[in-house]
Amino acid sequence: MHLDFGTGDGAFALRRARSEPSTLVIGVDASAEGLREPSRKAAGKPARGGLANVLFGLLPLERAPGELVGLVDALTVLLPWGSLLRAVALPEAEGLARLRGLCKPGASLQVVFGYGPGDPLAVQALPGLQGEVRAAGLVQAYAAAGFEVTARSVGREEVGELPTTWAKKLAYSNNEREFVALTGVTR
């Protein structure tokens, strides 16, 4: 099962489900608003974009893993904001533990996050640290939470290629922004 955490309008989950018909894809978010349209679309007839292998649900990180404990083979967290961004970017041990709780051993993880120079997050997380030192800190914190990851800076072009709605918005906005990608597996 592939879980897209902080799925927003579900575009990534729908696309993934379409390209991998034998994988169950679940998109969850703290906000129900964006989930109505993809849920409606998925429940429709196949000729109208309906898909039998995708589900959407309300699940704030603060209540995870809930019923999804230990069920996830592939976890994505793409361009989060708010408390989900803080959890993956600072990172916060409790939030990472909640994400780890969702996953099977050996599950894959892909996290991509971005922040601007004026964001409170940038000040808290990166007080004058160079990229490599920051990446090493992230890798260590994720390891303590049970994820073996590599961390790297990514450019706008690469972010723009991610098939999500916010990837396009953020990659092509004029605001200065740095992006970081973490990929790996759970132990």
Ligand X SMILES: C[S@@+](CC[C@H](N)C(=O)[O-])C[C@H]1O[C@@H](n2cnc3c(N)ncnc32)[C@H](O)[C@@H]1O
Gap between the Cα atoms of 114 and 171, Å rounded:
10
Given 53, 83, 108, 110, the residue binding ligand X (CB under 6 A): 83
Least separation, in Å, of the C-beta of 68 and ligand X? 12
Check binding of 7 to ligand X (CB under 6 A).
Answer: yes
Given 18, 24, 53, 60, the residue binding ligand X (CB under 6 A): 60
CA distances (Å), origin 6, targets 11, 132, 182: 11, 27, 16
Least separation, in Å, of the C-beta of 130 and ligand X? 27
Gap between the Cα atoms of 31 and 4, Å rounded:
14
**Binding to ligand X in span 92-111, by CB under 6 A:** none
Given 44, 82, 116, 160, the residue binding ligand X (CB under 6 A): 82
Gap between the Cα atoms of 4 and 117, Å rounded:
27
Nearer to ligand X, 34 or 91 (CB): 34
* Contact between residue 90 and residue 122 where contact means Cβ atoms under 8 Å apart: no
Window contacting ligand X (CB under 6 A); options: 18-26, 29-37, 44-52, 174-182: 29-37
Helix (H, G, I), strand (E, B) or coil at 131: helix
Burial class for 63, CB neighbours closer than 10 Å (0-12, 13-18, 19+): exposed
Nearer to ligand X, 140 or 172 (CB): 172
H helical segments located in 28-81: 36-43
Q: Find tokens 């978010």 and name the residue.
A: 29
Helix (H, G, I), strand (E, B) or coil at 125: helix
Given 18, 37, 81, 110, the residue binding ligand X (CB under 6 A): 81
Binding mask 116-155 for ligand X (x = CB under 6 A): ----------------------------------------
Q: Which helix (H) or strand (E) holds 29?
A: strand 25-29
Check binding of 38 to ligand X (CB under 6 A).
Answer: no
* Binding stretches for ligand X (CB under 6 A): 6-8, 29-31, 34, 60-62, 78-84, 164-167
